[in-house]
Amino acid sequence: MPDIKKILVANRGEIALRVMRTAREMGIATVAVYSEADRHALHVRYADEAVCIGPAPSSESYLRGDKIIEVAQRLGADAIHPGYGFLSENAGFSRAVREAGLIFIGPSPESIEVMGSKLAAKKAASQYNIPMVPGTEGAITDRAEAKLISGEIGYPILIKASAGGGGKGMRIVEKPEDFDEQMDRAVSEAVSSFGDGSVFIEKYITSPKHIEIQVLGDQHGNIIHLFERECSVQRRHQKVVEEAPSAVLTPEIREAMGRSAVEVARSCQYYGAGTVEFIVDEALNFYFLEMNTRLQVEHPVTELITGVDLVKHMIYVAEGKPLALRQEDLAIKGHAVEVRVYAEDPATNFLPDVGTLHTYVRPQGNGVRVDDGFEQGMEIPIHYDPMIAKLITYGQDREEAIQKMIRAIDEYQITGVQTTLPFCRFVMEHEAFRSGNFDTHFVAKYFTPDKLSPTPDADYRQVAALLTARVLEQGRKRAALPTPGEAPGAVSKWRNRKN
Ligand code: ADP
């Protein structure tokens, strides 16, 4: 296969920039595609060429595979990187890219198809000796039998949609009397959300950790793993804090999980970067949950502890090259923590809080990496995921990485929207997190908004709002409006006050 000379990145925001940066380091030209809402976005400015592909809604832009392929062909790109989300796990898109004579920087359509269905994934993985959560093997067709099995595995149980994703399509059943009602709800939700009513049953692990393994495979059958990421701090079954390595795995369990992950990947002839997710119980028994056939949001923590640029290797293997890494050469060095900075308000159950970034100053310094796609004065569009940035810190050990994270969170200046930063600071300081002894119920167990230390932001926002109103009022009188960002700067002493 020829070496890739120009990559179109079929995505936006931080991940589009992330991919383009590595491409540039490799001497590969880049093409951005963008929606009308993203005209001034950083990924558009960073790319060598950029093409608007449609209006703001993603169904009319970032999900228009046909338009994206057409742009790639017209501009002479030879490969497409899908990032995460949007078309990244769409087997039809991956197939269409290949049929258009282009390289899809990701796995084969067949691998995406198998792992896109939780049931098909479990079936493929069951050829190998991979631990699974006790439950039904296939989609439930016989309710009486399903009830019987649920009784055998023991309540509480979880009814899951085979086509589910993003933390949606799951129902807990606490006791047998609730079985029928929850089953009806689960099926109707699965039909309305995913267009597929197939559901199955899993034992509900009451105190689980979410630990996943990064894998990388080439087109010649070589597959390696790059250790684990712990992602148990979640809200709405979605991750918000991640770290690598996990604070609780022993070297033996790590190795066993790594081996299992490689086998899951082998079960669908996987190549490219992928993630095998496991759920781990209190006794550190691990069970296969699902495989994500793309680059994950939280991939930087793995990059920091292994020194491997995952995007670079994705590009190499997409070119058909054999893996340039061997399992025995990989080792964990240091510790990395990532927090997702969402434009969400932790005080209102993490409701999105999009708007304009009046102040936006990134933290810097030793061991700090910020992957973002915004600048001061920019608007966070309502049409997409409200993630502003990923803040990642790296230290010699876990304690140092956490200390750096607290320092970096305190340096991060964001006003105009509420963010998850104060919540993430709460996590970093919490003794359960510090001890490593926490599970996916961290938020439910420990977090209430009153636990957030009063940040200067709250005062700042009030003052900024008052000031903006006054300036606007004066401006209206003089018919001259201030430039965005100017007015809040006038009260910067509020920001400098420490909590
Ligand atoms: P999705 O595809 O929607 O992300 P997953 O199967 O990956 O669904 O599960 C998402 C999260 O739901 C997990 O990280 C975990 O917090 C919870 N979860 C999933 N399966 C179980 C289970 N059997 N027992 C307890 N919690 C579970």
pLDDT in tens, 201-228: 999 999 999 999 999 999 999 999 999 9
Phi then psi dihedrals of residue 121, to 5 deg = -65, -45
Read off the pLDDT of each residue in 376-402 and give the average, rounded to a whole number.
97
Task: Please say if the pLDDT value at position 489 is more than 50.
Answer: no
pLDDT for 154 equals 94
- Per-domain boundaries in the chain: 6-105, 134-203, 209-451, 456-496
Query: How many angstroms does the Cα of residue 492 sit away from the middle of ligand 1?
Result: 43
Given the CA of residue 168, which atom of ligand 1 is nearest to it? 3
Q: Supply the pTM of this predicted model.
A: 0.90
Query: How many angstroms does the Cα of residue 154 sit away from the middle of ligand 1?
Result: 18
Query: For residue 482, what pLDDT band results from cuts at 50, 70 and 90?
Result: very low
Task: Please say if the pLDDT value at position 469 is more than 90.
Answer: no
Query: How many angstroms does the Cα of residue 211 sit away from the middle of ligand 1?
Result: 11
For ligand 1, whether the C-beta of 242 sits within 6 Å is no
Q: Tens of pLDDT along 2-59? A: 699 999 999 999 999 999 999 999 999 999 999 999 999 999 999 999 999 999 999 9
Task: Please say if the pLDDT value at position 463 is more than 80.
Answer: no
Best residue among 206, 235, 289, 298 to mutate for probing ligand 1's pocket (most ligand atoms within 8 Å of CB) is 289
Query: For residue 491, what pLDDT band results from cuts at 50, 70 and 90?
Result: very low
CATH code linked to domain 6-105: 3.40.50.20
Query: How many angstroms does the Cα of residue 63 sit away from the middle of ligand 1?
Result: 26
pLDDT for 274 equals 98
Give 474 or 152, the one with higher predicted confidence. Answer: 152
For ligand 1, whether the C-beta of 279 sits within 6 Å is yes
Give 329 or 490, the one with higher predicted confidence. Answer: 329
Best residue among 200, 207, 237, 285 to mutate for probing ligand 1's pocket (most ligand atoms within 8 Å of CB) is 237
Read off the pLDDT of each residue in 484-488 and give the average, rounded to a whole number.
35
Read off the pLDDT of each residue in 435-442 and give the average, rounded to a whole number.
97
pLDDT for 250 equals 97
Given the CA of residue 169, which atom of ligand 1 is nearest to it? 3
pLDDT for 352 equals 95
Task: Please say if the pLDDT value at position 457 is more than 80.
Answer: no
Read off the pLDDT of each residue in 77-91 and give the average, rounded to a whole number.
98
Given the CA of residue 231, which atom of ligand 1 is nearest to it? 14
Query: How many angstroms does the Cα of residue 337 sit away from the middle of ligand 1?
Result: 21
Q: Determine which of 45-54, 121-130, 486-495 has the lowest per-residue pLDDT on average.
A: 486-495
Read off the pLDDT of each residue in 90-103 and give the average, rounded to a whole number.
98
Given the CA of residue 239, which atom of ligand 1 is nearest to it? 14
Given the CA of residue 202, which atom of ligand 1 is nearest to it? 23
Read off the pLDDT of each residue in 172-177 and give the average, rounded to a whole number.
95
pLDDT for 453 equals 76
pLDDT for 29 equals 98
pLDDT for 468 equals 56
pLDDT for 387 equals 97
Give 120 or 489, the one with higher predicted confidence. Answer: 120
pLDDT for 165 equals 82
pLDDT for 106 equals 98
Given the CA of residue 287, which atom of ligand 1 is nearest to it? 23
For ligand 1, whether the C-beta of 277 sits within 6 Å is yes
Q: Tell me which residue has its CA closest to atom 6 in ligand 1.
A: 289
Best residue among 118, 132, 170, 288 to mutate for probing ligand 1's pocket (most ligand atoms within 8 Å of CB) is 170
Query: For residue 231, what pLDDT band results from cuts at 50, 70 and 90?
Result: very high
pLDDT for 494 equals 31
Q: Determine which of 59-63, 399-403, 477-481 has the lowest per-residue pLDDT on average.
A: 477-481
Best residue among 279, 286, 288, 298 to mutate for probing ligand 1's pocket (most ligand atoms within 8 Å of CB) is 279
For ligand 1, whether the C-beta of 234 sits within 6 Å is yes
Computed over every residue of the chain, the mean pLDDT equals 91
For ligand 1, whether the C-beta of 158 sits within 6 Å is yes
For ligand 1, whether the C-beta of 289 sits within 6 Å is yes
The one-letter code for the residue type at 112 is I
Fold classification of 134-203 is: Dna Ligase; domain 1 (3.30.1490)
The β-bridge partners of 80 are 8, 104
For ligand 1, whether the C-beta of 243 sits within 6 Å is no
For ligand 1, whether the C-beta of 204 sits within 6 Å is yes
Query: How many angstroms does the Cα of residue 132 sit away from the middle of ligand 1?
Result: 13
Query: How many angstroms does the Cα of residue 408 sit away from the middle of ligand 1?
Result: 30
Query: How many angstroms does the Cα of residue 368 sit away from the middle of ligand 1?
Result: 30
pLDDT for 142 equals 86
Closest-CA residue to 471 (of 461, 486, 449):
486
Query: How many angstroms does the Cα of residue 167 sit away from the middle of ligand 1?
Result: 7
Q: Determine which of 80-89, 193-202, 238-247, 381-390 has the lowest per-residue pLDDT on average.
A: 193-202
Residue 210 CA to residue 277 CA, distance in Å, equals 7
Residue 459 exposure: Cα atoms within 13 Å on the Cβ side: 13
- Which residues are marked as active site? 294
Read off the pLDDT of each residue in 426-446 and give the average, rounded to a whole number.
98
Task: Please say if the pLDDT value at position 386 is more than 70.
Answer: yes
Q: Tell me which residue has its CA closest to atom 17 in ligand 1.
A: 237
Q: Tens of pLDDT along 271-305? A: 999 999 999 999 999 999 999 999 999 999 999 99
Q: Tell me which residue has its CA closest to atom 21 in ligand 1.
A: 204
CATH code linked to domain 209-451: 3.30.470.20
Q: Tens of pLDDT along 13-24? A: 999 999 999 999
**Helix axis angle, 118-125 to 251-267, nearest 10°:** 110
For ligand 1, whether the C-beta of 133 sits within 6 Å is yes
